[in-house]
Amino acid sequence: MSQNLDRFCLITLCAVAGVFAGCKGPAPAAFDVIPQPHEAVRVREAVRVREYIRHVVILIQENRSFDNLFATYPGADGTRYGMMKTGSKDVRVALKPVALDGVCDFGHGYGNYLTDYGRGAMDGFSLEGGSNKCPGPAGKKPYQYVRPSQIRPYWAIADQYVLADHLFTTQGSGSFTAHQDLIAGGTTIDAMQTEALVDFPTHMPWGCDAPAGTVTSLLIAGSPPKYESDAGPFPCLKYSTLRDLLDARSVTWKYYSPPEPHGTGALWDAFDAIKAVREGPEWHTNVTHQPTVIFSDISGGTLPAVSWVVPDDVNSDHPGDASDTGPSWVASIVNAVGESKYWDSTAVIVVWDDWGGFYDHVKPPFFDRLGGLGFRVPMLIVSPFAREGKSKRGYISHTQYEFGSILKFVEHIWGLGSLGTTDSRAANIVDCFDFAQHPRTFNPIPTMYSRQYFQKQRPSYEPVDSE
C-alpha cells in the first residue's frame, strides 16, 4: 500500500497532496489523493447545470457490487469470471447466474474488505463468512451475478439513460458509514481528519437514539490505517453534512427512510446520527419515516430540491431477504418523477451503499489514509439531460467516481461551496449530462410491481441492514 502512495505522490501537485512523503505543504489531510484524470471533462458544462437541474433525488439501495448486477451488461466493465484464493494459489472461476432473492448474505465490514481485497489480488471473496441461511466459508458463493431477467428495470434504465461502471464507495466498510458518506462525504470526527468512523455502532438504533453505552469503531489515519474496535464515540455526531450547506442557502431537502418499531424511524436514518438534526426541529419537518411519502410529494407538487430515499428492507435489494421488489421500487419512483411536472428539471441518482461481500473484479484505484476507496457499486442516472450513448441508447460512464461525486454535483448546482471532505477531490458526475441535447421525452420503465403495490405495502419494521 505504501508503494502505491509513494507512486501517487510523484505525480501529484504538492499543494493538493501534502500527505505523501517528500511533499511540502500544510498538515496531512486524510482525504488528499491524486487528481482525477477527467478534470477537463467534468467541468466542461458545469456552469450550465443550475439552469437545467433544480431537483436531485438520491435513491439508496443495498449491498450489491457492480459485477453482481451488471457483470454482463454490454459495453460495461464487467466480467463472467473471477479469481478465487484456494490455499497457496488462485483459480479462475465462472460467475454463477442467480436469482435476485437469493438467501446468501455475506460480511461487508472493514475486515471483510481487506480479506476480499487480498492485497490487490481481489481474490479473497471465497474466505467470507455467510449468514444463518447461507453458512460459511463462502467458497464460490460470492462469485455470482443476478440474472438480467430478475432486474429488468435496472437494465431498462441503463438502456435509456446512464450507467456508471467506476463508482467506488468512500471507504471499505459497511452500510452505517456508507449512508453517512452519502450525506457528509466522510466520517472523520476530528479537526485534523485523522480519525474516522468505520463499520457500525455496537447497538441499534444507529444514532442519537442508541442506548447509553453504545460506541463506534475507528480508523486512525495511516498507511495503512489503524483499526480500533469500539474505541469511537457515541453515534450522535457534530460534523457538518450537506444539510448545513443546503440550509445556509435556503435550499429545501428531505430524507425519506423506513419506520422502526419504537416510532423514531431511527433504525435506518443517517440523520439520526447527526445531533443538530435529531435534536432539532428538522427531525419533524425534513425527515419522514415512511419512504412512500415520496410519491405524494411528487404528485402533490412538494418535492424538495434535494431528496434522499431509503426503502423498506424488503424493497432494498438486500441479499437474504427473499424479495425481488427492489427494481420495481426504484422504477416506480423514476416513473413517478417522469410522469410529473418535475421531469424537465430533475436528476434521479440510483446507488447501492456497499458491495455486500459479492465479487467484483476491479481493484480500487487508490488508497487514502482512512480505508478508501472501497469497492465498486453501480450508479444509474436518470434525467431528460442524461448523456446519450451511441444510436441514442444509454450512456456508459467510465469516469472514476466516488460517493463524494454525488455531493459535489449537488453543491455545484446551488453554489453551496464544499464540505471539505471527499467532495473536494471527487470527480463531478456532471459529465453524465449533456445540456446541449434536446431534452428526452420520458418513457416509463416497465415494472413487475406497481406504484400502488408499494403505497399499499405494510412496513416490515426490519432494519435495512445490520452491518
Q: How would you write the pLDDT of the chain (467 residues) with one tens digit per residue?
A: 433 333 333 233 233 333 333 333 344 457 754 445 444 444 444 557 888 999 999 999 999 999 999 999 999 999 999 999 998 889 999 999 999 998 788 988 999 999 999 999 999 999 987 777 787 789 999 999 999 999 999 999 999 999 999 999 999 999 999 999 999 999 999 999 999 999 999 998 899 999 999 999 999 999 999 999 999 999 999 999 999 999 999 999 999 999 876 555 566 799 999 999 999 999 999 999 999 999 999 999 999 999 999 999 999 999 988 899 999 999 999 999 999 999 999 999 999 999 999 999 999 999 999 999 999 999 999 999 999 998 778 999 999 999 999 999 999 999 999 999 999 999 999 999 999 988 999 999 999 999 999 999 999 888 777 76
How far apart CA 16 and CA 445 sit, in angstroms, is 43
Give the per-residue pLDDT at 16: 31
Q: Which amino acid is at 159?
A: D
Helices (H), 264-366: 275-278, 282-285, 293-299, 326-338
Please report, for residues 143, 156, 266, 379, the alpha-carbon distance to residue 207 in angstroms, rounded to integers and kept in the order given.
34, 36, 7, 27
Contact criterion met (CB below 8 Å) for 62 and 169: no
Give the phi and the psi of residue 158 in degrees, each rounded to 5: -60, -35
Beta bridge partners of 381: 162, 349
The whole model's pTM is what?
0.91
- The pLDDT of residue 264 is 56
Beta bridge partners of 121: none
Q: Pick the closest to residue 8 from 457, 459, 368, 287 (CA basis).
A: 368
Nearest residue to 154 (alpha-carbon basis) of 69, 65, 62, 61: 69
pLDDT value, residue 42: 44
Concatenated DSSP letters of 28-39: --TT--PPPTTH
Note the pLDDT of residue 128. Answer: 84
List helix spans (H) across 60-191: 66-70, 110-117, 152-160, 175-184
> Cis bond leading into 224, ω under 30°?
yes
In 10 A of CB 320, how many CB atoms?
A: 18
Task: Tell me which H or E stretch contains 218.
Answer: strand 217-220
pLDDT the model gives residue 315: 96
Tell me, what's the pLDDT at 46? 53
> What does each C-alpha distance from 269 to 16, 22, 117, 327 come to in angstroms?
34, 42, 29, 21
| Residue found by looking up cell 431498462 in the block | 156
Q: How far apart are CA 412 and CA 255, in angstroms?
A: 20
* Cβ atoms 182, 406 nearer than 8 A: yes
Which strand (E) or helix (H) includes residue 376? strand 376-382
Reduced to 3 states, what is the DSSP secondary structure of residue 256? Answer: strand
Three-state secondary structure call for residue 106: coil
Residue 412 near residue 46 (C-beta atoms within 8 A):
yes
Q: If you ran DSSP here, which 8-state letter would residue 386 be given?
A: B
Phi (first) and psi of residue 105, to 5 degrees: -130, 120
412 close to 178: Cβ distance less than 8 angstroms: no
Q: State the alpha helices, DSSP H only, in 23-151.
A: 39-43, 49-52, 66-70, 110-117
Structural domains in the chain plus CATH codes: 1-35 (no CATH), 36-80+145-456 (3.40.720.10)
The answer for residues whose C-beta is within 8 angstroms of residue 140's C-beta and 6 or more apart is 84, 93, 96, 126
Cβ atoms of 128 and 140 within 8 Å: the answer is no
Q: Which three cell numbers stand for residue 52?
A: 437545467
